[in-house]
Chain A
Amino acid sequence: MPSVRELIDNYQDTVWALLGLHNELTFDDEKKKPLAESAYTSRHTEEVTLPDGAKITPDIHVVVPGGLSVGDIKISFAQDGDDRKKADIEAQLRKYDAALVHLATASKRSKDECGVVLLVHQSRAGSATRFGQSTSFEHNFAVLSYNRTDQAKVYVTLELRHGVLVPAHKHTKLSANPIQINVDVLFRFGDVRFYDAAPPDLYVAEIFWMHILSFLAAEAMNPGDGALPKTVEVEVNKAAQLLADGYSIRQICRNAKQCPSNDQMRRVFVMLKRMHLAKEVSPDRYSVTRVDFRDVRAAFEKRLKKADADDARREARRKATETRRAARRKAREEEKAAKRAKKGNGRQGELFDPS
């Protein structure tokens, strides 16, 4: 089981991969600069309702000149042998494949210009390629892998592993060689940290603490106070929305699904409560106590560890008490039973003494 730190790093790499792919598909190779934002539409993680009423929410959804790509990112694509997961992924991709008929008409792209994309981490590229080879779709299907490499610059490497990518000139480009994208250029899309998949709670808590809470505290500060207020009341849904607007893929696709969700945000507040940093005012409002930690992650981890230990201790105590009580109860019952038996025996003796 990977540690939370690894989960956060992996999650971030995945976001970079999505932005990297977005950057590549919306990059004009002839003019050597990004396409004008009016020249393409991107609807990553936006819920799309099809004419038959069915709904899909593809991670990747972009319409560029000569290409319409719809697909998903699977950080950990199914291992060989995990047929159930593979079947799930296939079913999902088939939905996209079917939806392309409608989407193509809506955006006036020919069938050849449309494709389903599957983006997986490099470590699962083999399984994903074999999956691609053994599956066929109505439209083009491309399996891409991503990986982060750290040299003098940090790069996201995208590699075409199988199938056909649209638009055609991007297919030619990626078939020739994997492409490397310096993540520095991805900052033009904003401070994008979240996409559709739920990020680790600790990560959401950190971004909230660093940027949303400090902002709300600053807003609540009166001129002349000299210091940020110690407690700030925060509405769960508002916090979730500020995070989704400011730190998710919404930075490039306005209608992207809200991430983090309100439910996850509530979990994060419960987490802060466990760390003794928040109190529940109502199910939708928390009063957060600001502490000026020098090292926020270290402080969070320490408090979580302590909360876990406290919980474990409480649980152990509860169990011990329960066992003790049960034992006492049992002893009492036994005693009663014994008494009853004795009394009963006596009575019995009185009533039915055969003698």
Chain B
Amino acid sequence: MPIDEDVVGALAPGGTGDELLSRVARGPVLERDDQIQLAYVPFTAVRDWKAAAGGLRSRRVADADHALVLEVQSIRSRRVAALAIVPQPGIRLTAIVGVGRRSDYGDAYEYLSGRLHPRVMRPYFRQHDFATMMREIDRHLGRTAEIHFTRLGHQRRLTKEKRESSLTWTDVRYQDVLNEAREKGHFFKHVSFEVRLKGNATDVKGAMARPNIMSLSASAAVRLAGLVNERLVRHAAEEHKLVTDRSRTEALTRPRPIVATFEDALISKKGDAQQVTERFFQYKRSSIAVIHGNPYVHVRIIDLDDGSSYAVFMTSADAMTLIPQLRSSESSFSRLLEFVHDSFGAVKFEDAPKVYA
């Protein structure tokens, strides 16, 4: 059965929210013929979410054990999808967990996270996270299983050429695809994978997409939901931790920069710095001031979504210092990191003192 045709009961109009709430309370939903879609979005405050959701075409269904369940109407199919918001104990993080049919859920999630931006931070998978996740799944499934990538949505690093994205169908071991992507400077937007057992196809299938989303076929969910679930939460938490509390609380407070490092030198000849600088003009919903563009990079950025602002310096050929200013929201810094990752192929984001000590 094609994955997209699996309809989860929770999505049927009426009663959806209650059903999802009871499922969330029980833990990951594992039912035969279910297709599970999980996405975690860390929050700074649940109150924000509630306030924002109030203005949405959504209905608050239930509020038990701090879990809040919302129903959102799918824009395309008009079907109602349900999303649960579950606070994570111990960390300042609340996750939105959604369970649903892939297309409806995607719609609902995209719609909500779009409407909630910039109050809600959206974590994303970096290129190496795709590799990590696949390796973990691989290890979990044991030696007889082999994971193949069947469909790839990728885009090329943007320093030299214009943005290029493409969709490829393939059937190659994931390790080979990852190596090739690395050589070519490609970045995945989403991948679909299938598991082979002793060379034979199975119905253990799934997909992984940039905005911290995994989807699994019913039989994949049985074996992998626990692992995937845990990994998604951990990733969201790590991403949130990296960008949180970066605002300079008062002007005298020194900023807390993040340093992006690259595998190769980005600036090696005349004009390279100029190119890096010019790339920033393609950063969406922003206002840019180029203080210095040659031979090193000094750019200042306002994120027009919420007035967060940053200074970007590139005074080493293989590292970029991103300095948050008086206001730097989690969602805005995360968006900037994503842009730097996609545009220049940053491999690592770290606290400045760690890099420059």
A residues near B (Cβ < 8 Å) are: 8-9, 12, 33, 150, 152-154, 182-185, 187-191, 203, 206-207, 209-212, 214-215, 217-218, 221, 223-224, 227-228, 241-243, 245-246, 250-251, 254, 292-297
Chain B residues whose CB sits within 8 angstroms of the CB of A254 once the complex forms: 252
Known: A211-B326, A214-B327, A221-B306. 9 other contacts (CB 8 A): A187-B313, A191-B255, A191-B311, A210-B325, A214-B309, A215-B326, A242-B251, A292-B304, A296-B288
Of A212, A227, A243, A296, most buried by chain B (CB within 10 Å of CB) is A296
Task: Give the contacts of B268-294 with A (CB-CB under 8 A).
Answer: 281, 287-292
Contact B288 A182 (CB under 8 A): no
Chain B residues whose CB sits within 8 angstroms of the CB of A294 once the complex forms: 281, 287-288
Chain B residues whose CB sits within 8 angstroms of the CB of A245 once the complex forms: 250-252
Q: Which of A154, A211, A243, A293 is the one whose CB lies under 8 Å from B316?
A: A154
Consensus secondary structure, chain A interface = helix
A218 to B118, CA, bound (A): 12
Contact B315 A295 (CB under 8 A): no
A8 to B289, CA, bound (A): 13
**Looking across the interface, which residue of chain A has its beta carbon closest to that of B285?**
A292
Contact A184 B295 (CB under 8 A): no
Q: Which of B254, B255, B292 is the one whose CB lies under 8 Å from A12?
A: B292
Chain B residues whose CB sits within 8 angstroms of the CB of A206 once the complex forms: 289, 291, 300
Q: Which of A9, A182, A228, A241 is the one whose CB lies under 8 Å from B307?
A: A228
Min CB–CB distance A147 → chain B (angstroms): 14
- Interface mask (B197-237 → A, CB under 8 Å = 1, otherwise 0): 00000000000000000000000000000000000000000
Min CB–CB distance B271 → chain A (angstroms): 13
**Looking across the interface, which residue of chain A has its beta carbon closest to that of B298?**
A12
Chain A residues whose CB sits within 8 angstroms of the CB of B308 once the complex forms: 214, 218
Chain B residues whose CB sits within 8 angstroms of the CB of A187 once the complex forms: 257, 313, 321, 323, 352, 356
Q: Which of A188, A203, A209, A297 is the one whose CB lies under 8 Å from B352?
A: A188
**Looking across the interface, which residue of chain A has its beta carbon closest to that of B317?**
A152
Given that A183-B315, A210-B309 are contacting pairs, would A297 and B265 also be in contact in the complex, using a CB cutoff of 8 Å?
Answer: no
Min CB–CB distance B121 → chain A (angstroms): 16
Consensus secondary structure, chain B interface = mixed
Interchain Cβ contacts under 8 Å between A and B, 30 examples:
A8-B291, A9-B292, A12-B298, A152-B316, A154-B296, A154-B315, A154-B316, A184-B313, A184-B315, A184-B355, A187-B313, A187-B321, A188-B254, A189-B254, A190-B255, A210-B309, A211-B300, A214-B308, A214-B327, A215-B309, A217-B307, A218-B327, A224-B52, A228-B306, A245-B251, A246-B325, A292-B304, A296-B288, A296-B300, A297-B291
Chain A residues whose CB sits within 8 angstroms of the CB of B309 once the complex forms: 210-211, 214-215
Of A190, A210, A296, most buried by chain B (CB within 10 Å of CB) is A210
**Looking across the interface, which residue of chain B has its beta carbon closest to that of A229?**
B307
**Looking across the interface, which residue of chain A has its beta carbon closest to that of B324?**
A191
Chain B residues whose CB sits within 8 angstroms of the CB of A8 once the complex forms: 291-292
- Determine whether B91 belongs to the interface, using a CB cutoff of 8 Å to chain A: no
**Looking across the interface, which residue of chain B has its beta carbon closest to that of A8?**
B291
Chain B residues whose CB sits within 8 angstroms of the CB of A182 once the complex forms: 315-316
Chain B residues whose CB sits within 8 angstroms of the CB of A154 once the complex forms: 295-296, 315-316
- Determine whether B319 belongs to the interface, using a CB cutoff of 8 Å to chain A: yes
Given that A153-B316, A215-B309, A245-B250 are contacting pairs, would A185 and B300 also be in contact in the complex, using a CB cutoff of 8 Å?
Answer: no
A211 to B287, CA, bound (A): 11
A209 to B309, CA, bound (A): 10
- Determine whether B89 belongs to the interface, using a CB cutoff of 8 Å to chain A: no
In the complex, the 5 A-B pairs of residues with the closest C-beta atoms, listed nearest first: A218-B307, A245-B251, A246-B251, A296-B289, A154-B315
Given that A154-B296, A188-B352 are contacting pairs, would A246 and B326 also be in contact in the complex, using a CB cutoff of 8 Å?
Answer: yes
Contact B315 A223 (CB under 8 A): no
A328 to B300, CA, bound (A): 55
Min CB–CB distance B282 → chain A (angstroms): 10
A221 to B302, CA, bound (A): 15
